[in-house]
Amino acid sequence: MSDKDLEQRGINVIRGLAMDAPQAANAGHPGTAMALAPLAHVLWTRVMRYDPTDPAWPDRDRFVLSNGHACILLYSMLHLTGYDLSLEELRNFRQLHSRTAGHPESRHVKGVEVTTGPLGQGVGNGVGLGIAERILRSRFGPELVDHHTFVLCGDGDLMEGVSHEAASLAGHLGLGRLVYVYDDNHITIDGPTEIALSDDPVRRFEAYGWHTEDVGEIANDTDALEAALRRAMAVEDKPSLIVLRTHIGYPSPHLTDTSKAHGSPLGEEEVRETKEILGLPPGETFYIPDDVAEMYRRAGARGAATRSAWQDRFDAWGGPRAEWDAAWSGGGLPGWEDLLPTWEQPGEQVATRHSINKVLNALAPKLPGLVAGAADLTGNTGTLLDGAELQSREHPAGRAVAYGVREHAMGAAMNGMALHGGVLPVGGTFFVFSDYMRPSVRLAALSGAKVVYFWSHDSVGLGEDGPTHQPIEQLAAMRAMPGLRLIRPADANESAHALRVAVERDGPTALCLSRQAVPVLPGTAQLAREGVERGAYVLVHGDDDPDVVLIGTGSEVSVCVEAAEVLAGDGISARVVSMPSWDLFDEQDDDYQDRVLGPGSPILSVEAASSFGWARWADDSVAIDHFGECGPGAAVLADLGFSAGDVAERARALLDELDGIDYDDDDEEDA
């Protein structure tokens, strides 16, 4: 059998797996995987550098399947080339507790670089992967970092808005070594793409500053596919888009170029007839003959020599090894925590968005992987790195990224940067606009990507921009997201340790930061280190058996401290608890939680946001369960009841309700 014949048998086997897995699951997307089987074959056997025995090898090429519904294609290639993904897992496609979920997840399968599913996210992830590669190559040298990123995307990806933002950013940055293949199959679930799409992708991406090539009807020509990929790989000064015309479901006799081939199993009879066309045993499922298995195992094994040569270069490398190790761990050089600033003077007024910027710049010299930027709000969100060069064609090692007004792209790119490794991305925007990046935040949480969000202007305290810019429900919404660590620091000292926690811990961390100045609180210089790490702590003790416990977060903690003083004047003992993070507090044992919250005293939470969820911790809440108001921030907060007097009054009312005791100022005898 000639090499060409064996290659074709391999491609046909991939198509067989693409039919069999959805058919066995009675769910899935066979058609795209069938059409792209030749491209996948070329990538894994002729083009990409990888080593299945060391899937985390730093200088491997990265592959992103943005049209993640075609995941059986990726799973098939990983199995065939020798990754730790058994044929049994392919048989269990989409089944409970299998590793082969209906869209690829990076935490479950080695060889899946990023978690894609919501269309367009992989397009943005690829941009982040490209940024990370360029920064690391410029910093540590091409002998250690010299790889490409390959992204497959489809019509749905390029319809979603995130792809437009990401493509525009990538073109502006001139990110070479990015090779995207657009699977132009003209089919969506609702029907032909023409019912909703008339874009010219070549002209659009050219306008974004990409190298583009419409290669037409070469989807089954392996030599032509390889040539197109290599032409794109040679472009160093801009990202590349290859437009490939494919026929979804090919060579199904009745379902090629149909919507059914996109989103549903083909059906047993159609699978049988298609296998006959392909020369596969029609009655056998998950068929992989020995010669095909050997061909793909050989292709996978070739990477071991490349990786070994890289390891030799790395072992002989005389560069900054400690910086390399710290960057790839997502952490800091020895002693980085000693650089944390402390604010010793209680009462000093400083917005947490400003204190966090001081912390960021203090730590930056010892966080070699740190890359920071914002969605056009760098100075506003605390993400400005003093003296750092902007990431650009001219400054490929730049640690500052100007994302522009592109929250969607920023979130997706940050995931790509983090999952690439070697980069600790910090990105900022106003908290209310976290809604724009929420799909990417969710995927960061699902993936365990180590990203850090600076979400500033975190309450109605931002003032005059009004309700459209004032977050109300965002705290509750983000707290509801599994895997996202959300911290709302009360003052400068808490913000310092919030960033420390973000660097020390794995997974995504969001810091919610005030626009307005807040006072440095007495005790936080000593207590914030442990207090933030544990999610909540007692800031003002009051009596051992306080009459009431006031829990505050962020800028409202200082209001609780003042309210406790007002209540003390009435003979009411109030404990003040700062609770910067529900997530971290929830990790603590019952004993610690009981010690913080007190021995059964009534609890009043104080937070300038929705009350949703506070019933878990508090008996009543000073909150905002409606949209905000336009006006100076201090006036808005006062108008909505966030003053010491208002909080004290609500505490009295809570005690009156629970204990039947009247604590009115003008009725001291009853009190």
Taking residues 616-634, report their average pLDDT.
97
Cα→Cα distances 388→394, 411, 618, Å: 13, 21, 44
pLDDT tens-digit readout, 424-449: 999 999 999 999 999 999 999 999 99
- In this prediction, what percent of the chain has a pLDDT beyond 90? 96
- Give 358-388 pLDDT, tens digit per residue: 999 999 999 999 999 999 999 999 999 999 9
Angle among Cα 475, 477, 478 to the nearest 5 degrees reads: 70
- Segment 395-414 shows an average pLDDT of 98
Residue 658's pLDDT is 85
pLDDT at residue 664 above 80? no
| Confidence category of residue 2, pLDDT binned at 50, 70, 90 | confident
The pLDDT of residue 131 is 98
Which of 340, 513, 347 lies closest to 426 in space, CA to CA? 513
| Partner residues linked to 184 by β-bridges | 245
pLDDT at 598: 86
pLDDT at 157 (0 to 100):
97
- Nearest Cα neighbor of 256 from 185, 312, 314 is 185
Residue-wise pLDDT for 344-358, tens only, equals 999 999 999 999 999
Helix (H), strand (E) at residue 365: none
Q: pLDDT value at position 670?
A: 39
For residue 667, the model assigns a pLDDT of 43
CA nearest to 446, candidates 418, 473, 472: 418
Cβ neighbors of 670 (< 8 A, separation 6 or more) are 661, 662, 664
For the stretch 461-518, pLDDT in tens is 999 999 999 999 999 999 999 999 999 999 999 999 999 999 999 999 999 999 999 9
pLDDT value for 433? 98
Task: Tell me the C-alpha distance between 408 and 437, whole Å.
Answer: 5
- Structure confidence by residue, pLDDT tens digits, 175-193: 999 999 999 999 999 999 9
pTM of whole model > 0.75?
A: yes
Q: How far apart are CA 393 and CA 621, in angstroms?
A: 51
What φ, ψ does residue 402 adopt, rounded to 5°? -90, 100
Average the pLDDT over 56-82 and give the result: 98
Alpha carbon 30 to chain centroid, angstroms:
28
The tens digit of pLDDT for each residue in 581-622 reads: 999 999 999 999 999 998 889 999 999 999 999 999 999 999
- Structural domains of the chain, with CATH: 3-307 (3.40.50.970), 336-519 (3.40.50.970), 531-659 (3.40.50.920)
Decide if 655 contacts 602 (C-beta within 8 A): yes
pLDDT at 134: 98
Which amino acid is located at 291 in the chain? D
259-280 average pLDDT score: 97
Q: Report pLDDT for 662.
A: 54
The tokens describing 161, both together, are: 């808005």
Peptide bond into 482 cis (omega under 30): no
In this prediction, residue 669 carries a pLDDT of 38
> Model confidence at 553, in pLDDT bands (50, 70, 90)?
very high
**Range scoring the smallest mean pLDDT among 235-239, 564-568, 583-587, 667-671:** 667-671
* Lookup: tokens for 524: 């936080």
CA distance 367 to 385: 12
138-156 per-position pLDDT tens digit: 999 999 999 999 999 999 9
Whether the per-residue pLDDT at 666 is higher than 50: the answer is: no
* Residue 205 pLDDT class (50, 70, 90 cuts): very high
Whole-number average pLDDT of the chain: 96
Q: Would you call 145 helix, strand, or coil by DSSP?
A: coil
- In this prediction, residue 668 carries a pLDDT of 41
- Which of 105, 113, 407, 556 is catalytic? The answer is 407
Number of helices (H), then strands (E), belonging to the chain: the values are 27, 20
Q: 113-139, pLDDT tens digit by residue?
A: 999 989 999 999 999 999 999 999 999
**For residues 661 and 636, which has the higher predicted lDDT (pLDDT)?**
636
- Catalytic site includes residue 389: no
Q: How far apart are CA 267 and CA 28, in angstroms?
A: 12
Question: For residue 102, how many C-alpha atoms fall within 13 Å in the half-sphere facing its CB?
Answer: 14
Grouping H, G, I as helix, E, B as strand and the rest as coil, residue 243 is strand
